[in-house]
């Protein structure tokens, strides 16, 4: 099958040009013969017009399909009325436009809707959860609550930025649950290490502190940076209630919070 994409050079300089490129790429991948020109072809099995204004004075050439974007002027509606007797399909970008044009006198049998898909290469950004605390052998920071979550749900929608030593045994378990992790254990230079906090904390989507020992200084940094916090409602956390977006105590509580954060 031969397909001609009808689009002039002016119309091909922006969104319609992207549409033409995607049509060309995917139709060729399916074995069709595709070309693109300013005018339709008598030799093509399908002429697909990407600018319906160009179709106003066209003669029928077998199977003609026409892309329809917004109709915001009377002359544009007139063009569709004039062309509906020869076109095989007006391809709208939404069902709403199909319904609107049908109400305005375009034969519904000539109308169809295809919602444009997103381009390749766009992926959903992970939710960034930041922690700025050291861990200790006695488990005093209650990291077991986070490990409980890692055993209980997929973390594929999450990325963890972790600042502080002692996380080497925890990180693989987060990654096994699907999370990605950026880790800075720290050095002997406290001032230089805190520069990492200043750089990372504003990029958190949420700040997490699992400890129950009066409060986290990182919580104060998060509040100053406008980062909502997932923390235990105790100590000086309680003195800044607006910063405690998601208070929790138990592993089940934390699990519920992260489940609800998933997009």
Q: What is the CATH number of the domain that holds 208?
A: 3.40.50.2000
- Do 63 and 158 lie in one domain? The reply is no
Average pLDDT estimate for 123-146: 95
Instruction: Report if residue 138 sits inside a domain.
Output: yes
- Do 75 and 198 lie in one domain? The reply is no
> What per-residue confidence (pLDDT) applies to 10?
65
- Do 78 and 153 lie in one domain? The reply is no
Provide the domain limits for residue 205.
127-261
Query: Would you give the DSSP letter of residue 117?
Result: P
- Do 132 and 107 lie in one domain? The reply is no
Q: Where does residue 44 rank: exposed (0-12), middle (13-18), buried (19+ CB within 10 A)?
A: buried
> What per-residue confidence (pLDDT) applies to 124?
84
Instruction: Report if residue 121 sits inside a domain.
Output: no
Instruction: Report if residue 152 sits inside a domain.
Output: yes
Instruction: Report if residue 255 sits inside a domain.
Output: yes
- By mean pLDDT, which of 16-20, 106-110, 246-250 is the weakest? 16-20
- Do 132 and 256 lie in one domain? The reply is yes
Of the residues 86, 113, 140, the one at which a domain ends: 113
Q: Where does residue 30 rank: exposed (0-12), middle (13-18), buried (19+ CB within 10 A)?
A: exposed
- Do 108 and 133 lie in one domain? The reply is no
4 bridge partner residues: 35, 47
- Do 142 and 63 lie in one domain? The reply is no
- Do 25 and 101 lie in one domain? The reply is yes
Domains held by the chain: number: 2
209 bridge partner residues: 231
Alpha carbons 250 and 143: distance in angstroms, whole number: 11
- Mean pLDDT rounded to a whole number for the chain: 93
Instruction: Report if residue 20 sits inside a domain.
Output: yes
Q: pLDDT at residue 228 above 70?
A: yes
Of the residues 60, 82, 113, the one at which a domain ends: 113
Query: Percentage of residues in the chain with pLDDT exceeding 90?
Result: 78
CA 263, chain centre distance (Å): 10
Most confident of 51-60, 75-84, 116-125, 221-230: 221-230
Q: Does the reported pTM lie above 0.75?
A: no
- Do 56 and 32 lie in one domain? The reply is yes
Q: Higher-confidence residue: 169 or 10?
A: 169
The string of pLDDT tens digits covering residues 4-16 is: 999 987 666 788 8
- By mean pLDDT, which of 8-12, 29-33, 84-88 is the weakest? 8-12
Q: pLDDT at residue 210 above 90?
A: yes
- By mean pLDDT, which of 86-90, 109-113, 122-126, 156-160 is the weakest? 122-126
Going by C-alpha positions, the residue among 206, 197, 180 that lies closest to residue 124 is 180
| pLDDT confidence bin for 57, thresholds 50/70/90 | low
Instruction: Report if residue 93 sits inside a domain.
Output: yes
> What per-residue confidence (pLDDT) applies to 8?
83
> What per-residue confidence (pLDDT) applies to 224?
96
> What per-residue confidence (pLDDT) applies to 11?
63
Q: Where does residue 120 rank: exposed (0-12), middle (13-18), buried (19+ CB within 10 A)?
A: exposed
- Do 139 and 194 lie in one domain? The reply is yes
Q: pLDDT at residue 55 above 90?
A: no
Average pLDDT estimate for 206-230: 96
Phi, psi dihedrals of residue 151, rounded to the nearest 5° = -80, -15
- Do 155 and 249 lie in one domain? The reply is yes
Q: pLDDT at residue 130 above 80?
A: yes
Angle, alpha carbons 221-227-232 (nearest 5°): 75
Instruction: Report if residue 119 sits inside a domain.
Output: no
Of the residues 113, 141, 175, the one at which a domain ends: 113
> What per-residue confidence (pLDDT) applies to 67?
95
Q: Higher-confidence residue: 199 or 118?
A: 199
| pLDDT confidence bin for 52, thresholds 50/70/90 | confident
- Distance separating the N- and C-terminal Cα atoms of the chain: 42
The string of pLDDT tens digits covering residues 235-263 is: 999 999 999 999 999 999 999 999 999 75
Instruction: Report if residue 53 sits inside a domain.
Output: yes
- Do 6 and 91 lie in one domain? The reply is yes
Q: What is the CATH number of the domain that holds 94?
A: 3.40.50
Q: pLDDT at residue 33 above 80?
A: yes
């Amino acid at each position: 099958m031969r397909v001609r994409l009808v689009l002039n050079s002016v119309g091909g300089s922006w969104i319609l040009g992207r549409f033409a490129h995607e049509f060309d790429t995917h139709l060729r991948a399916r074995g069709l013969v595709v070309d693109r020109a300013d005018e339709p072809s008598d030799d093509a099995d399908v002429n697909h017009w990407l600018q319906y204004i160009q179709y106003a004075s066209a003669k029928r050439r077998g199977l003609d399909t026409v892309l329809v974007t917004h109709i915001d002027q009377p002359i544009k509606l007139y063009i569709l009325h004039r062309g509906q007797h020869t076109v095989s399909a007006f391809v709208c970008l939404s069902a709403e436009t199909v319904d609107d044009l049908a109400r305005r006198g375009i034969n519904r049998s000539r109308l169809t809707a295809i919602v444009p898909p997103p381009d390749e290469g766009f992926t959903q950004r992970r939710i960034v959860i930041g922690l700025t605390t050291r861990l200790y052998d006695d488990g005093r920071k209650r990291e077991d609550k986070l490990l409980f979550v890692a055993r209980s749900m997929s973390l594929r929608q999450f990325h963890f930025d972790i600042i502080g030593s002692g996380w080497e045994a925890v990180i693989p378990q987060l990654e096994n649950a699907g999370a990605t992790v950026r880790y800075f254990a720290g050095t002997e230079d406290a001032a230089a290490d805190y520069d990492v906090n200043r750089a990372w904390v504003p990029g958190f989507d949420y700040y997490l502190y699992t400890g129950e020992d009066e409060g986290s200084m990182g919580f104060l940094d998060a509040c100053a940076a406008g980062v909502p916090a997932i923390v235990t409602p105790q100590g000086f956390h309680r003195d800044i209630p607006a910063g405690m977006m998601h208070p929790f105590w138990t592993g089940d509580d934390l699990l519920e919070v992260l489940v609800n954060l998933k997009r």
